[in-house]
Amino acid sequence: MTQSVVVQVGQCGNQVGCRFWDLALREHAHVNKRGLYDEALSSFFRNVDPRKSGGGACYVGGRIQHLKARAVLIDMEEGVVHGILQGPLREVFDSAQLLTDVSGSGNNWAVGNLTYGSAYRDSIVNKLRKAAEHCDCLQCFFLIHSMGGGTGSGLGTRVLSLLEEEFPDVCRIVTAMYPSAEDDVITSPYNSVLAMRELTEHADCVLPVENQSLVDIVNKISLMSHNAKPGCVLKKESTVTSGQGGVSPTERPFDAMNNIVANLLLNITSSSRFEGSLNMDLNEIAMNLVPFPRLHYLVPSLTPLYTLADVNIPTRRLDQMFSDAFSKEHQLIRADPKHSLYLACALMVRGNVQVSDLRRNIERLRPSLPFVSWNQEGWKTGLCSVPPVGHTHSLLALANNTCVKPTFMELRERFTKLYKKKAHLHHYLHIDGMEQSAFSESLSSLSALIEEYHHLDATKARLIPDAPRLSIAR
């Protein structure tokens, strides 16, 4: 069994991370009835007995003493991390896992990446090493940060390149929160594009999440739960936005949105934690969904968003769950995959679902989904027998689809609008180590990426014949 380490950077990264740990504890408490520290728990938590010598590490199989998250928390302001340490999750983190400063990055990627990146390089590497050493077999780093600010975006991407340098064989999956067009941070396009270059070059997979999509999902659920019609009452703890049953007693403003992202992470790791008839390990995700090294942006889509409380209503049909996964309302970025081109698609199913259900739905949905010519049956499937809390089954779809192109083009446009006027550039350029070339190179990187997607898109309309086969001499 393998372990993963979560590295949460910046305000957004830490808020999402915090929700993740809360929900992870809830999920394991739900499944782990005997209080034993099992393999599943050990994938994200250490078990520590303070009475034991030598750090007190406990092996798998014993009773749960104190669970400590396999995490590194980094923020250049103190507010969020201190909030976590004063909250109900304080026991889950060791002070050695934290790195904070006081002044923040002023929404400036260069401050995060270069100033703090250099100042704290050794400290960060030490903390990462420590976390890795506690792992028997470290498989993956999950990095969580936003793109639009200064710390998450700048320092987060610096951490990403440190991870590649220090742990080249460990998979790097980044959950990146992209700002909406209406974002109130004026320089967010700069920060995002500068960060994107790093993601393209150093990440194995990126799960882009757009704030606006999260807002839409929260509103949708809100509407459902205020709908007093009989048969429409939601099971409160089953919503993908709910933190109920977790450690934290009250929900704070962004909690609902952050819970969605936390659920994404729980689902993506479910098959490597729990048993199933068709396991899907984390290293299989990159292998199957990334046909070309830079095209590693995967559109996540989660269903169901909630389950209905009324037991007289038959359980939402399984097939509906599959259809929903391909509807725009369940995606975590605003894009239109059905009208773009699928390069590959993974379906991670949890709960009481069998292979025939999977086959039936793939056959049903396949005709309406355009796949690239050389990957007509490009499905990667996984069946995990343990469902999420409050559900009998769930589905996470990860699509490598050219529909990310418009999202990136929009980002590039917002960047260019500012860059043409050299607006706010001086804030960046006066940072030690920051050159104007960083801007132009990041822009080129983004354009090259868009071009690659564009190239593939162009094949969509054309009927590509089979490649001529090798002819064998008789």
Partner 1 sequence: MSVVTVQLGQCGNQVGQELFDVICSDARDVHRKTYSTVSCERFFRETTQGDLEARAVLIDMEPKVINHSMSKAAKSGRWRYGETSHFSQKQGSGNNWANGYCVHGPRHRDAVEELMRREVEHCDMLAGFIPIMSVAGGTGSGVGTFVTQCLRDIYPSSFVLNHLTWPYGTGEVIVQNYNSVLTLAHLYQLSDAILVHENDIVHKICSQLLKIKQISFSDINRVIAHQLGGVLQPTLTPASCGAYSRHPVGIDWQVCPPPASAGRSRSLSAGSFNTSLANLLILRGKDVYSAETGGFEDSAIYTSWLPPDEALSLWKSPVPFNKYEKSATLVSNSQALLRPLDDMVRKAWNMFASRAYIHQYVKFGISEEDFLDSFTSLEQVISSYSELQ
List contacts with partner 1 (CB under 8 A).
Answer: 1-2, 39, 136-137, 139, 275, 277-279, 281, 283-284, 286-293, 343-344, 354-357, 359, 362-363, 366, 373-381, 383, 466-467, 469-472, 474
Smallest gap from Cβ 370 to partner 1, in A, equals 15
395/443 with CB nearer partner 1: 395
274/306 with CB nearer partner 1: 274
Instruction: For strands 299-303 and 138-146, give the pairing.
Output: unpaired
Smallest gap from Cβ 159 to partner 1, in A, equals 23
Strand order in the sheet with 138-146: 98-100, 71-75, 3-9, 138-146, 171-178, 205-210
Handedness of CA 458, 459, 462, 468 (dihedral sign): positive
* Cross-strand pairs, 459: none
Q: Which residues contact 421 (CB under 8 A, 6 or more apart)?
A: none
Other Cβ atoms less than 10 A from the Cβ of 278: the count is 12
Q: In this structure, which amino acid lies at residue 42?
A: S
> Nearest 10 degrees: CA dihedral of 202, 206, 211, 213?
160
Q: Judge contact between 125 and 165, C-beta under 8 A.
A: no
Smallest gap from Cβ 168 to partner 1, in A, equals 11
Smallest gap from Cβ 171 to partner 1, in A, equals 9
Q: Which residues contact 398 (CB under 8 A, 6 or more apart)?
A: 207, 268, 285, 289, 298, 299, 300, 301, 345, 346, 348
426/469 with CB nearer partner 1: 469
80/346 with CB nearer partner 1: 346
Smallest gap from Cβ 455 to partner 1, in A, equals 11
Smallest gap from Cβ 122 to partner 1, in A, equals 29
Rg from Cα positions in the chain: 22
40/144 with CB nearer partner 1: 40
Q: Which residues contact 427 (CB under 8 A, 6 or more apart)?
A: 106, 108, 110, 187
Q: How far apart are CA 21 and CA 5, in angstroms?
A: 12
125/369 with CB nearer partner 1: 369
199/247 with CB nearer partner 1: 199
Smallest gap from Cβ 324 to partner 1, in A, equals 20
Smallest gap from Cβ 48 to partner 1, in A, equals 21
Smallest gap from Cβ 288 to partner 1, in A, equals 4
Smallest gap from Cβ 91 to partner 1, in A, equals 28
Q: How far apart are CA 313 and CA 17, in angstroms?
A: 35
Q: Which residue is it, tokens 């949890």? A: 350
108/288 with CB nearer partner 1: 288
360/427 with CB nearer partner 1: 360
126/352 with CB nearer partner 1: 352
Smallest gap from Cβ 130 to partner 1, in A, equals 20
354/440 with CB nearer partner 1: 354
